[in-house]
Chains A and B, each alone.
Chain A
Amino acid sequence: MSALLPTNGEYLIVSVLFAVYLALRLNIVPRIGGRRNSEIFLLVFLCGAISVNIGVHYRTVQRGYSRDKVLYAETLRSLSQVLPEGTRVGYVSDIKRSDRNAWLVRYFGTKYAVAPWVLEEGTVPNWVIVNAAVYDPRLIPDGMVLVRDFGEGLRLFRRKEE
């Protein structure tokens, strides 16, 4: 449950600085107050606040802003080079859809690699890609032969010619 108000210290500082601005604007201390000085203060305040956010972005990226995905780019490239001319290729994986991120990485990574082939879940097409963390031969029905094992859980099968 997210908090109703932000809890980081920046907001406390912003509140204090805003109170200072109001004090200047209302000319509570005539020697340093007034419209001109309050505007200069507000400008410095705004530029400072902007710098804080630029720093937040910079530090976040420095810490590593990546989102848990590996595309196996080289392996997938080899796969796309082996596929002959065609339109549809089957896709089988041992990863459950409930493990959303792992499933998406493998499914979309493969789909991206084999375009313009259309990736179709199941083993109906004559060519089938197996993208499995742990390979189980039962994933592939009888009547299909291994064309190539690319490593990293990636295998290409094709239907035996009758």
Chain B
Amino acid sequence: MSGSCALALILAALVLGTFSSAVFLWEWVVGAPTPLSALILLIGITGVFIKVFLVLKRRIPLLQVASVRHWVFHLLPAACMVIGLICSGIAVVRQARQEPNGEWDAFAVWNLHARFLYRGSEGAWKGIFAPVTWSNGGYPLLLPGLVNGAWTLVGDERPIIPAMLAIAFGALSIGIVWSGVSALARDERGWLSALVLLATPSFLYLFPDQTADIPIALYMLATMALLQFAEAWREVRRPMLVLAGLSAGFAAWTKDEGLLFVVAVLGSHLVTLALLRYWRDLRTNLTMIGLGLAPILALLISFKIFLIPGNNPVQTIGHASSAGRYWEILLGFYDAAKGFGGTWQGGIHPILLLGLFLLLYARPLRNLRPMSISLALVVPAMFGGYFLVYLFSSEGNLHDYIGGTLNRLCIQLWPASVFMLATGLLPTSTATANEIQ
């Protein structure tokens, strides 16, 4: 049941990504889509994904709940989840009403680009890429494309639409963590993993902000979840890997750090399977992931080549020999770690909550699966990448630059990290009930 639910939620996220990409491609190649053409696209894409869901659902193994713990373990997390969802839901909606236009970046970048796409028929949308003050024209267009698609569908530029989409992305993240962990672990830890997300105030503050941080977090999470499913459910391994590639592609089409994520996922997979000498799996996995990734990567590369001016992530190599720069970056990472979760001045740090969660479920690690090792490497690889970006950045005030960006980068990785720790490094559905206990 939770396996099908997780798959349905992930496919819903992929429908949004595919619809956004299709609407953008339509606008670029054919011209501004009409409400009818947008509706046809949406119905077609949803139909294809429903078919995929029905085919995969039949092949997902049905596993019984394995937990034989005390009844408190069944009741308390579920009760907390209900209360948590109500309180957080009220707070998120209230914040969305306080900030109907979202946070700075929403109307300075993401919804601005959506307006260019929606209002700029006959090529005027390319004004996004005009080199004027803080245009950020090089940002990928999944979120603006989706908002544009939704506005086109309803035939009006309603501010509530980006707000609702933003909340939907957040809700999907929580739902995927709950159902995905429940499906693999077959016990109550799915509830607790989702609760750890709900107990991260800075994650929830980002929902109504209408920026791309929560959408990219969703696609990173979906990629990790699909890769875990591919390993746990051998019956659907290949289609799950293709979908994981597609999801990773959407992460790259949402924000530039998504490209780093693609490199981290492929690189960690390559290194792990090569070191373990699983050559056959390596070839199959990379081919399948590549199949899903290719169309979105092609769109992204075309976008970068034909529409936007060059944007080299290595802005300067002058700082690479400066020891002070390394120290400043490390201090920035330390500050970000402290401030992560928004609980320093009240509440409990989410990493501490995750520690308690692991204490409750961790068992001696036996027979770690290659996919788990590979996924465990993704997060450190991402942080390594961020470190290099800061090192090669030409920003004068590095302290402010890191302070303004790293917290959000950490939040982007948070749902995927919680999922990975709850499923990857603990005995899961491939283990017997006794092993889980």
Binding site for B on A (CB under 8 A): 2, 6, 8, 10-11, 14, 36, 39-40, 42-47, 49-58, 60-62, 64-67, 69, 71, 73, 87-88, 104, 107-109, 111-112, 115-121
Please tell me if the beta carbons of B130 and A49 are within 8 angstroms of each other in the complex: no
Binding site for A on B (CB under 8 A): 69-70, 72-73, 76-77, 80, 83-84, 87-88, 90-92, 94-95, 98-99, 101, 103-104, 107-108, 111-112, 115-116, 119-120, 124-125, 127, 130, 132-134, 192, 195-196, 198-201, 204-205, 335, 338, 341-350, 352-353, 356-357, 359-360
Please tell me if the beta carbons of A50 and B347 are within 8 angstroms of each other in the complex: no
Report Cα–Cα, A21/B348, bound state, in Å. Answer: 17
Count how many pairs of residues, one from A and one from B, have CB atoms less than 8 Å apart in the complex.
Answer: 165
Identify 24 residue pairs between A and B in the complex whose beta-carbon atoms are under 8 Å apart, listed by A's number. A14-B348, A39-B70, A42-B360, A47-B77, A50-B192, A53-B347, A54-B83, A54-B88, A54-B198, A57-B347, A60-B342, A61-B91, A64-B98, A65-B95, A65-B205, A67-B103, A73-B101, A108-B134, A111-B112, A115-B112, A116-B120, A116-B124, A116-B125, A118-B127
The smallest beta-carbon distance between B269 and chain A, in angstroms, is 32
Please tell me if the beta carbons of A55 and B99 are within 8 angstroms of each other in the complex: no
Please tell me if the beta carbons of A61 and B348 are within 8 angstroms of each other in the complex: no
Please tell me if the beta carbons of B352 and A108 are within 8 angstroms of each other in the complex: no
The residue from A39, A108, A116, A118 contacting B108, defined by CB atoms under 8 A apart:
A108
Residues of B within 8 A of A62 (CB): 91, 94
Residues of B within 8 A of A69 (CB): 104
Please tell me if the beta carbons of B80 and A39 are within 8 angstroms of each other in the complex: no
The residue from A46, A109, A112 contacting B115, defined by CB atoms under 8 A apart:
A112
Known contacts being A60-B201, A111-B108, A116-B116, is A46 close to B357, with CB within 8 Å?
A: yes
5 nearest A-B pairs in the assembled complex, by CB-CB distance: A116-B120, A53-B199, A56-B347, A57-B201, A115-B115
Known: A56-B346, A60-B342. 9 other contacts (CB 8 A): A8-B346, A42-B360, A43-B72, A47-B192, A50-B195, A51-B84, A64-B98, A67-B103, A115-B119
Please tell me if the beta carbons of A67 and B195 are within 8 angstroms of each other in the complex: no
Please tell me if the beta carbons of A50 and B80 are within 8 angstroms of each other in the complex: yes
Give B197's nearest chain A residue, CB to CB.
A50
Please tell me if the beta carbons of A54 and B84 are within 8 angstroms of each other in the complex: yes
Give A4's nearest chain B residue, CB to CB.
B338
Please tell me if the beta carbons of A50 and B353 are within 8 angstroms of each other in the complex: yes
The smallest beta-carbon distance between B339 and chain A, in angstroms, is 8
Residues of B within 8 A of A42 (CB): 356, 359-360
Known contacts being A2-B335, A111-B108, is A116 close to B119, with CB within 8 Å?
A: yes
Report Cα–Cα, A45/B72, bound state, in Å. Answer: 12
